[in-house]
Structure 1
Amino acid sequence: MPATPAPRIPAWPPKSAPRLFVEQALEAGGAITLDGTQAHYLGRVMRVAPGDAVIVSDDQTGEWATRVVDAGKRSVTLEVVERLREREEVPDLWLCPALLKKDRFDFVLEKATELGVARIQPVITRRCVADKLNLERARTITTEAAEQCARTALPELEPPLKLDALLGEWPSERVLFFADEEGGDPAADAFCYHEGPAAILIGPEGGFDDAERAAIRAHPQARAISLGPRILRGETAAIAALSVWMAEAGDWLGEE
């Protein structure tokens, strides 16, 4: 008579476990108590109970498996069990997108985070339809996107800068690729031969005006690139450029 196979032990923590970023530095054996929106999410939305797993990152030490100790109405206490991954190294790429209408810029923040950008530096140009950004709300969007895509490193998010200030303060060691609807080197070609720190500048609805384009082209670190034969919306251009970068010079290439 064949032996009865041993029951299969489910993996722990399960892949379906909720993910959160926390401000507290994590260490094995420690405990953290969450309140506010995070406690509401775990307790009321995900309905966690004692013994359930929650995967937590602190943007410093990496990703940790935790176990629910107590799930109350106003707070949830977690025991830190073990580190699952070190904090990831993301490509040294900044995205400098011109501000767009709120819903479209929200989309840029979310997808740039998912695609793995290291820093987001919003830019104000003459044709921008917006000149302000709620940074607290924007950081909530990037944090939730990082949780959704299992990033262990949050992108840096800076306050908006006017274009002339951006160009005046630009670091000399970082190449600034800018998507120019009037033409430039094909993005894939420009990216695949580049090594070192880089950034991608994306214009607003309506594009850069003539004076802005001239100022960018005159900058010693600027390189004009083309994103194809069609004129793209600002949010489409940002996602397309980041996708090409990750494929040609980023972390889609896999290990050597």
Structure 2
Amino acid sequence: MRANYRMQRLFTDAPLQPGTGIEANGEQFNYLANVLRLTEGAELLLFNGRDGEWKASLSFPTRKRIILTPIELTRPQPAGCDLHFLFAPLKVGRLDYLVQKAVEMGAGLLQPVMTQHVQGKITNLDRLQANAVEAAEQCGVLAIPTVQPPKKLTDLLEGWDMSRRIIFCDEDSSTQNPISALSAVSERSLALLVGPEGGFSDEERALLRGLPYVTAIPLGPRILRADTAAVAALAVVQATIGDWH
């Protein structure tokens, strides 16, 4: 069932049950009352990443409080996407964009990876999680991906579940077309690894290429910025071996 893009969508961490009111927090109150200027009886969509999407009615028990009451289940909760997105952090503005686009493209888990040439850093996981929630609100996603604490690439690979294949974007690939390499992948549990602006080091590339659960792919003949490469790679993976089938 497709999302209803005509109604306002709002994430809440509270359980969603018919007839059980949920009080909006301060930020939500300001957004609903002062930004959207919703009035008594207005309807919107609520989701929490667990209980599906619900049509809810808004009421003002007092001038400073809003209660959101679920009325009707509009979409059941789907299974979460199993694609893990592994990325080298970028500078703040572009990092926000990267997280938002990864959520829109169906990433089920976001894992920052510290590589040798990484230029950005993760200082606020709550900010990244908030970006993930905002992207889900705007694009109809019901499952909120979890943002994991950063890990060094070597540490990540040492503890890796080898049943999950890693697709990594290799700018030094001998070909330009990723389709042939992706078509040979039979695993359904996948992770996509996108490096930093400076690319992977020679040591990192050799390490990745030497692992049996890693597949290297190119991203065409042009040089892409890291955030552009991430969107392009997510699209080609989802279209070839992901959930776009």
Partner of 2:198: 206
Given the alignment of the two structures, is residue 190 of structure 1 paired with residue 181 of structure 2, yes or no? yes
TM value normalised by structure 2: 0.92
Q: Distance in 1 between matches of 2:85 and 2:193?
A: 6
1:169 positional shift: 1.3
Letter in 2 for 1:188: I
Percentage of pairs with the same residue: 38
Aligned residues: 240
Q: Is the Cα contact below 8 Å between 2:91 and 2:121 reproduced in 1?
A: no
Aligned residue among 113, 119, 123 for 1:129: 119
Match of 1:22 among 4, 8, 12: 12
Task: Confirm whether residue 45 of structure 1 aligns to residue 35 of structure 2.
Answer: yes
The answer on whether the counterparts of 1:42 and 1:48 sit within 8 Å (CA) in structure 2 is yes
Correspondence 1:230 to 2:211: no
Partner of 2:47: 57
Is the CA contact 2:182–2:217 (under 8 Å) kept in the aligned structure 1? no
Shift in CA distance, 35/71, structure 1 to aligned 2, threshold 3 Å: farther
Partner of 1:103: 93
Residues of 2 paired with 1:106 and 1:28: CA distance? 34
Q: Which amino acid aligns with 2:71?
A: V
Higher-Rg member (1/2): 1
Cα distance in 2, alignment partners of residues 47 and 90 from structure 1? 33
Moved more, 148-157 or 186-195: 186-195
Which residue of structure 2 lines up, in the alignment, with residue 4 of structure 1? Answer: none
Aligned position for 1:10: none
For 1:43 and 1:231, locate their aligned partners in 2 and report how far apart those are by CA, in whole Å.
Answer: 46
CA distance in 2 between counterparts of 1:181 and 1:71 reads 58
For structure 2, the 5+ residue unaligned runs are: none
How far did 1:156 drift? 1.7
Residue number in structure 2 paired with 1:8:
none
Q: Which runs of 5+ in 1 are unaligned?
A: 1-13
Pairwise CA distance, 1:90? 4.2
Q: 1:181 aligns with which of 171, 176, 201?
A: 171
Indicate the larger mover: 53-62 or 74-83: 74-83
**Among 121, 128, 138, the residue aligned to 2:128:** 138
**Given the superposition, is the C-alpha separation of residues 233 and 38 from structure 1 closer, same or farther in structure 2, using an over 3 Å criterion?**
same
How far 1:106 sits from its partner (Å)? 1.0
Instruction: Name the aligned partner's letter for residue 116 of structure 2.
Output: R
Letter in 1 for 2:180: D
Match of 2:150 among 143, 153, 160: 160
Q: Does 1:89 align with 2:79?
A: yes
Could you tell me how far 1:15 is from its partner in structure 2?
4.4
Residue type of the alignment partner of 2:149: P
**What corresponds to 1:34 in structure 2?**
24
The alignment partner of 2:163 has SS state of coil
SS in 1 for 2:98: helix
Asked if residue 120 in structure 1 is aligned to residue 104 in structure 2, the reply is no
Tell me if structure 2 keeps the 8 A contact 1:125–1:163: yes
- The equivalent of 1:169 in structure 2 is 159
Q: Distance in 1 between matches of 2:158 and 2:59?
A: 52
Label 1:109 to 1:45 Cα distance change in 2 as closer, same or farther (>3 A).
same
- Using the TM superposition, name which of 89-98 and 208-217 deviates more: 89-98
1:243 match: 235
**RMSD between superposed Cα atoms in Å:** 1.6
Structure 2 distance, partners of 1:148, 1:235, is 20
d(CA) in 1 for partners of 2:113, 2:200: 12
